Chains A and B, each alone.
Chain A
Amino acid sequence: MVKPTRLTNDIRTLRFTADEMTQAELARRVGVTRQTIIAIEQGRYSPTLEMAFQIARIFAVPLEDVFQYPDDAGEMI
């Protein structure tokens, strides 16, 4: 059964606060294509745990500040 991801993220905000880092620059630093960063930002792709940690490390914030996983009631976990 295919379903859209429930994972949400604040990458767009974090990029803005990190000197308006471009998607291309973030992609280069993570080692993925720009399309993958766009897909993650738009919630069309759930990154691997390793990639999620890499993104959090680039912004120097905990993983939970980058990614959230709301429960059925919509509350963030």
Chain B
Amino acid sequence: MSWEEKSTWIMGVVSVVGYAVYLSLVLPAVPSAGGLADAPYVASMLWTIGGAIIASIILHILAAVISPQDANTKDQRDREIYRAGEYIGQSFVVIGALSAMILAMLDMDQFWIANAVYLCFVLSGVLSTIAKIAMYRGFHPW
């Protein structure tokens, strides 16, 4: 497995686990808060995003220590797969931005706006990871 494929796996797993941790922190507080939109989410979201960034850095360092000869090597194929994967995943970034815009226009609670953006970031990461892994495994759109 190439360095970039390992990196793709790390980013995908960190995105999913990070969002699962976020949900596990926010959802239990919903009953006591009286409703989903009233649940405290800001600290959980910030800690989860920060934790995901740190976890990603640590996992990349561990991957580099385990196979130092592959660390940070990238070639034409890696660049093509990265670009195509990001292009595919970008659709959810646009959906997230549009969702946030519409929710703001509808005067929805900040909870929904922040969570719509966060969810779409995660979905974008997951979709681009799936696309990249599929391309590394032999399927490619070009």
Contacts and interface: CB of A to CB of B under 8 A. Distances in A.
B70 interface: yes
Give the size category of B's interface with A. Answer: 10 to 19
Interface string A1-45: 111110000000000000000000000000111011001001111
A68 interface: no
Nearest to A27: B75
Interface string B14-33: 00000000000000000000
Interface in B81-103: none
Give the size category of A's interface with B. Answer: 10 to 19
Interface of B: 1-3, 5, 70, 73, 75-78, 134-142
A33 B140 contact: no
Contacts, number: 46
B140 A45 contact: yes
A24 to B, nearest CB: 10
A2 B141 contact: yes
Interface centre among B2, B73, B77 (most CB of A within 10 A): B77
19 contacts: A1-B141, A2-B135, A2-B139, A2-B141, A5-B140, A32-B75, A32-B76, A33-B2, A33-B78, A35-B2, A36-B2, A36-B76, A36-B77, A39-B77, A39-B136, A39-B138, A44-B138, A46-B142, A47-B77
